[in-house]
Amino acid sequence: MILTIDIGNTVITVGTVSKTGTHFVEHISTDVKKTDLEYAIAFRTILELYEIPSHPLTGSIISSVVPPLTAVVNRALTKIIGKPALVVGPGVKTGLPIKIDNPAQLGSDMVVNAVAAVAEYPLPLLLIDMGTATTLSVIDESGAYLGGSILPGAGIALDSLVKRTAQLPRISFDAPEKAIAKNTVDSMKCGIVYGSSAMLDGMIDRMEQELGKSLFALATGDLAKAVIPYCTHKIQYDEMLPLKGLYRIYMKNRTDGSC
């Protein structure tokens, strides 16, 4: 069993995975001010909540889009497991062909998700990750990463709307009953939820038209749960996708026989 850590700009996703599957997934807030000890305590607490002692953990792996935190979290994992984590980056085997102008620029989170998606879902595929940013990645029939799009996330859009207007309140991500809303809160919910779903539908249409073929649509990321039910396209949701991708990369790079 290994501990998987996906460091995003807003949340850190934590889980344990073994050859029998993913055991849990939890999220804690990303905070660059925390020390390695504070993160070690947070990870240990999560493991204790799920009654997973640290001694069955044979290793750990990190994917990070927050460079200042990578070493901090690695030290935290070393305190818990007794050895450093594998960090997804240059030199780490992924098995994913990347057909973009500069493959080194592809974020480790997008690589991790793509590795899991290729292994578990039909191709060609459109992979949607709705986190701080919303990313759309296209993977062809051979399992190669072709490219995609990066858009402001729904959370960022809402934060900007609230901060830059004097009278608009902070709202939840619930969808209102109607698209033609009758009050300010429901109007904002329409824009965020229905607007985000319409954006995804439009991007899927445009990408399928460009490729000349249909794409299997797959989504991950916490905000996707609130948006994809309102898309006209069928989009499958997989909350565990990043953890499964991390596990597969770990297994490709292991040198001690751990699983």
Predicted local confidence at residue 2, as pLDDT: 94
The reply to whether 109 belongs to the active site is yes
Mean of the per-residue pLDDT values for the chain? 92
Task: Kindly indicate the confidence band of residue 257, based on its pLDDT and cuts at 50, 70 and 90.
Answer: low
The CA distances from residue 129 to 138, 148, 156, 188, 237, in Å, are: 12, 11, 14, 22, 10
List 6, 109, 129, 186, catalytic entry: 109
Q: Residue 48: CB partners within 8 Å, gap ≥ 6? A: none
Give the β-pairing of 133-139 and 125-130: antiparallel
- Cα 225 from Cα 115, distance rounded (Å): 21
For 170-188, what is the mean pLDDT? 87
Q: Where are the beta strands (DSSP E) in the chain?
A: 2-7, 11-18, 21-29, 59-64, 86-87, 125-130, 133-139, 145-152, 216-220, 235-237
Task: Give 194's DSSP letter.
Answer: I
**Per-position DSSP letters for 22-72, written without gaps between them:** EEEEEEEE--TT--HHHHHHHHHHHHHHTT--STT--EEEEEES-HHHHHH
Predicted local confidence at residue 70, as pLDDT: 97
What domains sit in the chain, N to C, each tagged with a CATH number? 2-87 (3.30.420.40), 103-242 (3.30.420.40)
Whether the pLDDT of residue 229 is over 60: the answer is: yes
- Cα 119 from Cα 141, distance rounded (Å): 12
For 180-186, what is the mean pLDDT? 91
pTM of the predicted model, to two decimals?
A: 0.89
Q: Give the lowest-confidence range in 17-26, 214-223, 242-251.
A: 17-26
Predicted local confidence at residue 256, as pLDDT: 58
For 118-125, what is the mean pLDDT? 97
Predicted local confidence at residue 8, as pLDDT: 92
For residue range 25-39, what is the model confidence (pLDDT) as tens digits?
Answer: 999 999 999 999 999
For residue range 65-89, what is the model confidence (pLDDT) as tens digits?
Answer: 999 999 999 999 999 999 999 999 9
CB contact at 8 A, 17 and 23:
yes
Q: Give the lowest-confidence range in 51-65, 86-100, 123-137.
A: 51-65
